[in-house]
Structure 1
Amino acid sequence: MMLFLSNFKSTVLLWFLVLATCGNETEKIAATTPPPSEPQIEKVEKEIIVAANRTDAYLPLLKGKKIGIVANQTSVIFNNEGHTHLVDSLLFLNVNIKKVFAPEHGFRGQADAGEHVKNSTDTKTGLPLISLYGKNRKPNQEQLDGLDMVLFDIQDVGVRFYTFIATMQLVMEACAEKGIPVMVLDRPNPNGHYVDGPTMEAAHTSFLGMTKIPLVYGMTIGEYASMINEEGWLENSTKVDLTIIPLENWTHTSFYSLPIRPSPNLPNDTSITLYPSLGLFEGTNVNAGRGTEFQFQRYGASFLDRDKYSFTYTPKPNFGSKHPKEEGKLCYGVDLSKAERMGEVTMDYVIDAYNNSTDKTTFFLTSGFTKHAGTDKLQKQIEAGNSNTEIKESWQPDLEKFKKIRAKYLLY
């Protein structure tokens, strides 16, 4: 059963909570690449209110229930002092939270990408933490025992291989099997203003893409939850009893700057807007800024033609990347830290790096690139010398099909 709640005003209880909780080659690339096609971005007149802040809309639905929460460092309620974590806030409001499920990077967001997160106990609250990243990516039935509802609240960035949507899908499947309702607290999608990229093919589904959606799908995490539930995309076409608590004062043309780093290697708006295009380097041997302070704002490698690039950098172990690609090696590449907001996925960066690689035989990590792309066609197109325009034209039929499905579930 789907429940969409209408707008409510902030309550006295929430106000009490607020008071109580205290280079040259870069120029060459830019010159040869058409400006990204960005939809008109509207000026936001009213403050965007995330669903977590709408306590009056969902607290009554939690009353008297034993709650499990899927959360990370972005799961917060904003207030005049900054923000408080959702778990801390709900405990303060006497919500009966029994356990926390932690996605990739962990509950407090400290783990590296791909690093297994272990079950533990949250030192601040004493709540058991159950990892959903590692061998156990889907809650088992025993882990759901005793729960009356699971609450999901994680900031997404709208890119298919960003694993939080896969975690949400597996949580929904497990809860459907157990007969436990799921509530999703919606948050803005900073890449929610467009749809683009290759569409996932069934033969290549993985934790980096579990459904047949484009690389950039242009939906909030709440809208996406509704789509996978109603389209029968959960395992065995099951459905979960799903409630979406919507945002206020946000549309798909609104600009939203994330106030909290959604994961260790997405530090700012520039990295988030470039992530759909530069994230494909994760399936290659090229470094995309990990091991620097400009993650997903540059790319380079020691095996790129040094005569083609004036920009260089050396990746070193740091927060979020204990062992970055090309660690300790001088990388030749492109600085994109001044890039403006994107409105499309571009293949120009991967094509440029491939064409200027001194060893093309080791450029692609074929299995990894296919999982990120969602198709084995993209690597073949790049190797065949197809242009960005030619590659993007091949995506269009699938994109048009997806947009028709997507339209049914848009809330904003």
Structure 2
Amino acid sequence: MRRRTLISAAGVAGAFSAVSFARPAVAQRSAVRTGLDRLAAEDWARLRGGTVGVVSNLTAVDREYRHLVDRMHAAGVKIGGIFGPEHGFRGSTRVGGDSGTDARTGLKVYDAYRVTHDQWAALFTEAGVRTVVFDIQDVGARFYTYIWTLYDSMVAAARLGLRYVVLDRPNPIGGRAFGPMLKPAFTSGVGLKEIVQQHGMTVGELARFYNGEFLTKPARLEVVACEGWHGGLFAADTDVPWVMPSPNMPTPDTAAVYPGTCLFEGVSSISEGRGTTRPFEISGSPSLDYRWRDTVASHNLPGVALREAYFVPVTSKFTEQLCGGIELKVTKPSAFDPIRTAVAMLVEARKLPGFAWRDDNPGRPPFADLLFGSDGPRKMIDAGASVPDIVASWQDDLTAFNQRRKPYLLYPRGH
């Protein structure tokens, strides 16, 4: 994910539809205690007496924005090493991970981005780890890489017989699942195992799901669950601090649309908004204008309003070119389906001249297929299928996934 940069003045231009974009005011935010909050309140008791390895990044903060590692270190917990995912432990890298010595604590940082299970095991062994602690804010999409850092490190910990402790955090986009299932032939770094596109689970629930469904040797897993969260709460409904988990995920509004509009990373002819201050919330290209917005709006998509938008990316696709397109404004999170919305955008864009899927990796499936998890949705879009038919194509898999995940859920869902 590339560094977030400033949008030009042209980015604020564009006509608004008659629909109000104001989100209903939250009367009172729900008080939620994260796994970190609960562990700190216990004075880290369950981590004392052994060497701990911490898989974490900049998002592992308490409500005063104090970092997990800084607090553990100050409290005298023995930390053998820190294992940083994509963008590094402190969020200091635009691409890849980082390694070296953490300036604040003097602890060793290991680059754990895209390492194999064998490499994870070697890193844990080198650090003398007996307990692994995971605390990273996820955003709820299958192709966001931190959940696969969780999976890979769990496999290695299980192999070594290590204890694995997940400090849970709310899913910022709620507990509902949407979208197609990943098929085994389409595994990649943006999807290693069979889950749906918007999984609707917390990292603690995912860890339980991985342990029960995918690990041949289960890990010695402990989840320090949140208190006060349920699947009907979104980021704006809670008092959990937000720290942007990657350079192009600046706000919870970005997270809300990301499981859908990240699909435009699989389209070479349309920008997904990288190089602007609203990545994934705006999409477009130099050849698009208000007509794309109007045709997509005709689908009467629930929970979202569409703004005709113009922007000039300063990096990534169409750098320094004026683009026309759509800005998404989620008006009712509980009714919004980001994947259905993105499919409607793709269906209408596919009808226009110049549309092209990204296909820059010979011998591998088109990138859109890796994001969807199969080639079915792309082929249906190419064939001119309707949005309802495309969405219906994955409903059986989605229903099966919802049933399969039930034993591993920790929080009420209410549907």
TM-score by length of 1: 0.82
Evaluate the alpha carbon distance shift between residue 303 and residue 136 of structure 1 in structure 2; reply closer, same or farther with a 3 A threshold.
Answer: farther
Question: Which of 230, 252, 256 is the aligned partner of 2:231?
Answer: 252
Determine the C-alpha separation between the residues in 2 that align with 1:73 and 1:291.
Answer: 22
Q: Compare 302-311 and 137-146 and name the one that shifted more.
A: 302-311
Show the counterpart of 1:265. 248
The corresponding residue for 1:66 is 51
Task: String of CA shifts for 1:337-380, please: whole Å, max 9, x gaps.
Answer: 56553632221122233223x32345666621111110111110
Q: CA deviation at 1:47?
A: 1.0
Q: Which residue of 1 aligns with 2:177?
A: 195
List gaps (5 residues or longer) in structure 2: 1-12, 294-307
Taking the aligned partners of 1:260 and 1:49, their CA distance within structure 2 comes to 16
Q: CA deviation at 1:117?
A: 1.9
C-alpha distance in structure 2 between counterparts of 1:252 and 1:189, whole Å: 8
Matched, 1:313 2:295: no
Question: In the superposition, relative to structure 1, how do residues 137 and 208 fare at CA in structure 2: closer, same or farther (>3 Å)?
Answer: farther
- Once the two structures are overlaid, the 10-residue window that deviates more, 302-311 or 201-210, is 302-311
Taking the aligned partners of 2:26 and 2:184, their CA distance within structure 1 comes to: 36
Distance 1:134 1:328 in 2: 32
Partner residue, 2:97: 117
Query: Cα deviations across residues 266-292 of structure 1 (Å, max 9, x unaligned)?
Result: 111221111111011111122111101
**Counterpart of 1:242 in 2: which secondary structure?**
strand
CA change 1:330–1:24 in 2 (3 A) is closer
Match of 2:151 among 158, 169, 185: 169
Q: Which among 187, 192, 210 is matched to residue 205 of structure 1?
A: 187
Alpha-carbon distance in structure 2 between the residues aligned to 1:205 and 1:363: 17
CA contact (8 A) 2:266 2:358 kept: no
CA change 1:390–1:48 in 2 (3 A) is: same
**Structure 1 position 140 matched with structure 2 position 140:** no
What SS does the aligned partner of 1:336 have?
strand
Change in CA separation of 1:58 and 1:117 when aligned onto 2, cut-off 3 Å: same
User: Where does residue 305 of structure 2 map in the other structure?
Assistant: none
1:54-133 equivalent positions in 2, closer than 5 A: 54=38, 55-57=40-42, 59-78=44-63, 82-112=64-94, 115-133=95-113
Q: 2:354 is matched with which residue? A: 359
Equivalent pairs, count: 366
Partner of 1:405: 404
* Equivalent residue number for residue 5 of structure 2: none
Q: Distance in 2 between matches of 1:61 and 1:362?
A: 50
Secondary structure of the structure 1 residue equivalent to 2:44? helix
SS in 1 for 2:66: strand
Cα deviation per residue 1:33-82 (whole Å; 9 max; x = unaligned)? xx9xxxxx99777511111011245822111110100011101122xxx2
Residue 334 to residue 168, structure 1, CA distance change in 2 (3 Å): same
Q: Report deviation, 1:103.
A: 0.6
2:108, 2:78 → 1: CA distance? 13
Query: How far apart are the structure 1 equivalents of 2:292 and 2:336?
Result: 28
> 1:135/1:402 Cα in 2 relative to 1: closer, same or farther (>3 Å)?
closer
1:298 touches 1:337 (CA, 8 Å); kept in 2? no
| Counterpart Cα distance in 1 of 2:379 and 2:170 | 35
Tell me which residue corresponds to 1:241.
Answer: 220
Distance 2:61 2:116 in 1: 25
C-alpha contact 2:267 2:356 (8 A) present in aligned 1: no
Residue 93 to residue 157, structure 1, CA distance change in 2 (3 Å): same
Three-state SS of the structure 2 residue aligned to 1:152 is strand
CA gap 1:141/1:272 in 2 versus in 1, 3 angstroms: closer
Unaligned 5+ runs, structure 1: 1-22, 36-40, 318-323
Structure 1 pair 26/130, CA: closer, same or farther in 2 (3 Å)? farther
Asked whether the equivalents of residues 117 and 155 of structure 2 are also in contact (C-alpha less than 8 Å), the reply is no
**Which of 276, 282, 290 matches 2:265?**
282
Cα RMSD between the aligned structures?
2.7
Work out whether residues 58 and 245 of structure 1, in 8 Å CA contact, stay in contact via their aligned partners in 2.
Answer: no
Poorly superposed stretches of 4+, deviation over 6 Å? 23-26, 41-45
Query: In structure 2, what residue type is equivalent to 1:206?
Result: S
Identity %: 33
Is this contact kept in 2: 1:77–1:89, CA < 8 A? Answer: no
Q: What amino acid does structure 2 have at the position aligned with 1:151?
A: V
For residues 237-294 of structure 1, give each alpha carbon's deviation from its aligned partner in whole angstroms, at most 9, with x where no partner exists. Answer: 1111000000001111123235211221111122111111101111112211110111
2:135 maps to which of 153, 167, 179: 153
The alignment partner of 1:333 has SS state of: strand
Deviation at 1:193, TM superposition (A): 2.9
Q: Give the Cα–Cα distance (whole angstroms) in 2 for the partners of residues 370 and 355 of structure 1.
A: 19
Q: Distance in 1 between matches of 2:217 and 2:292?
A: 53
Superposition deviation, residue 299 in structure 1: 0.0
* Residues 46 and 191 of structure 1: CA distance in aligned 2, closer, same or farther (over 3 Å): closer
Q: Take 1:143 and 1:273, find their aligned partners in 2: how far apart are those partners?
A: 34
Query: What aligned pairs does 1:6-45 form with structure 2 within 5 A after superposition?
Result: 27=17
| 295-304 or 144-153, larger mean C-alpha shift | 295-304
